[in-house]
Structure 1
């Protein structure tokens, strides 16, 4: 008895017999449709992909699950007409209220039962990655324009406020000078603080890109020494270096600032574990091959990971951590990761982040010669 016949017979009863155990182990989603386009069988991978169970989807039309089923239905119709033995095609399947599915599809017509079609779907990870990078780049560009415009709009009034406070202080009556000078000093100091913040916002866009030969392990060692100087007790920083990584052209100071911003955030997030004495920070370097960064394919790329065993990033801000002025720490400026992303993008690279309680991994990818 063929595997296809087993699937067809099992689908009629909506069960998962032992004979189809192999289908349940497949990483790709397998869907069987009857002649009318109703779902009669899906494997476990398809349940994960479609975010529903075989019991819930059985006897439903596959086309009803998507808001743009026309292309998929056209492929199925071609398969039923035996215009090809099987057809592979990239599809974007949109769903109401959910993220669209980027998938590689393969559709095959079955001889038994008549009119049945077998569909295999594999999530297109590369396309998802490209789409995510494009969104990050677009958002980063919007952030840059917003920061520049906002900073310039703030600078001029700040100068006027500070100057007016200084003039006011000079005109204070001697009798009340000490008492009232306290208020003018508050105005001056707060204006200076805001000026410093504005300067930090504009810094990455002003500073020239100083290019030289960079050894990424010298960058990591510099950051390691700075973190240990500030947090000498309770934290261990583990090195996991690939010594074969070549030097590359870049701005060493910008890269030190990038890694330091991420590592310093991690160290601050590890405060409870530092007290317990089991805080750990890992600096890990590897070489990635055949990597696409900002729609450009590179044979080699630096794959740098900054990993900590802290509490993880709050789900409320996880998707916005690279936005300016977004911080997960009380009193944080929310600029560290924004500057890190800007510097990495100036080196034609990307930053990715994976976080869960007990594990946060910032991954920096930079092209290598």
Structure 2
């Protein structure tokens, strides 16, 4: 490991070579032993380490995984042929992960071959693209389900009406059959209505989000298992925002109730609010927003359904209807907000983002 004076000499050398210290792209320079000789401020921010801590370390020693094979880097020093990789996962020893594009090129400094690596973080762009695709898919699935539901509901009404008329013509001992038809038609109609989702627009007004969360916590406390703890982590600085309290309460309760059904011993559900800025909701940039996180320490959502989690009739539980999260998604969309989820074993987080308007902020 080089000392501080040596680090300063390295830094001075590469500054003199006009390296892009003001670039937003993270830049790392390696010598022929593949040891770090320079990082610009953007790289320090990306790696969350200063140059003094990074200097003279092997590149692979700062990552839990090895994002660039040493053989490729050595070949670059020999051939001078640059290369680029996209969608590279950088995993750190604290398990933090980011996605980057990497460009590697050969440069000479002080008459010695070096490698210049440029890292461009693309997590946000990738997330926006994924969310836009998932939103389009969800809307398509919702429209398909609604179309099928209407096609089913119309003949069900006729079937029930015919059974009612027939019921009047039959003797009492034979009416049990028509009553069964009527009951099953009503059951299917109720299911179809749930598939169609909320059909009334929200009745919105400026409200305190924490009032709704307190109601959710209270309702949950009545039927939660004794081993489950509800944790409140509120940001009191959040101003009133515009929403329908009944509909938002339903959306949150659907998520919380799902968590209650999968939590084991020492289960925890955290209701966390924060003010946040510069969020993208359905392709629109929102300057200021409220972020509500509903976090549980359960087993997590199966990976195979995570991309279709909010579709109707998709459930991770054998006895689940797959309607609760679909309804929550519809309700949040009606508020011009966004509902998303990240999940792994031991940590599932549903994130609701609602815009804070200038009127409610003042």
What is the TM-score normalised by the length of structure 1? 0.70
- 2:231 partner SS: strand
Aligned pairs for 1:111-130 (under 5 A) are 111=108, 118-130=116-128
Structure 1 unaligned regions, length at least 5 = 11-15, 29-40, 62-72, 78-90, 96-100
What is the Cα deviation at residue 288 of structure 1?
0.9
Matching residue of 2:182? 188
* Correspondence list, 1:303-318, <5 A: 303-318=291-306
- Aligned equivalent of 1:9: 32
Residue 164 of structure 1, aligned match among 144, 162, 165 = 162
Corresponding position: 1:289 with 2:277: yes
Task: Output the aligned Cα RMSD.
Answer: 3.6
Pairing 1:138-157 to 2, within 5 Å after superposition: 138-157=136-155
- Structure 1 equivalent of residue 70 of structure 2: 54
Partner of 1:231: 224
Provide the secondary structure at the position in 2 that maps to 1:111. Answer: strand
Given the alignment, which residue of 105, 110, 119 partners 2:107? 110
Task: Give 1:157-306 correspondences, 5 Å limit.
Answer: 157-172=155-170, 177=174, 181=176, 183-204=177-198, 206-231=199-224, 233-270=226-263, 273=264, 276=265, 278-306=266-294
Q: Could you tell me how far 1:93 is from its partner in structure 2?
A: 4.1
Any runs of at least 4 consecutive aligned residues in structure 1 with deviations exceeding 3 A, and if so which? 1-4, 19-23, 25-28, 41-50, 52-61, 91-95, 101-109, 112-117, 164-174, 183-186
Give how far 1:253 is off: 1.6
- Say yes or no: does 1:319 pair with 2:307: yes
TM-score, normalised by the number of residues in structure 2: 0.72
Q: Distance in 2 between matches of 1:194 and 1:131?
A: 37
1:47–1:279 CA distance, 2 compared to 1 (3 A): closer
User: What is the DSSP-based 3-state SS (H/G/I as helix, E as strand, rest coil) of the residue aligned with 1:360?
Assistant: strand
Structure 2 residue matching 1:191: 3-state secondary structure: helix
From the superposition, tell whether residues 281 and 42 of structure 1 become closer, same or farther in structure 2 (CA, over 3 Å). Answer: closer
Q: Secondary structure at the match of 2:326?
A: helix
* Residues 190-221 of structure 1, C-alpha deviations (whole Å, 9 max, x = no match): 221111122123242x2022121121001101
CA distance in 1, matches of 2:254, 2:281: 22
Deviation at 1:186, TM superposition (A): 3.4
Residue 21 and residue 281 in structure 1: after superposition, are their counterparts in 2 closer, same or farther (change >3 A)? farther
Cα distance, 1:46 vs. partner?
8.7
Say if 1:242 and 1:325 are closer, same or farther in 2 by CA, change over 3 A: same
Q: Across the two proteins, how many residue pairs are aligned to each other?
A: 306
Conserved? CA contact 1:325–1:335, under 8 Å: yes
Alignment CA distance shift 1:47-1:161 (3 Å): same
Q: 8 Å contact 1:133–1:350 — kept in the other structure?
A: no
Whole-angstrom distance in 2 between the partners of 1:354 and 1:290: 20
- Equivalent position of 1:132 in the other structure: 130
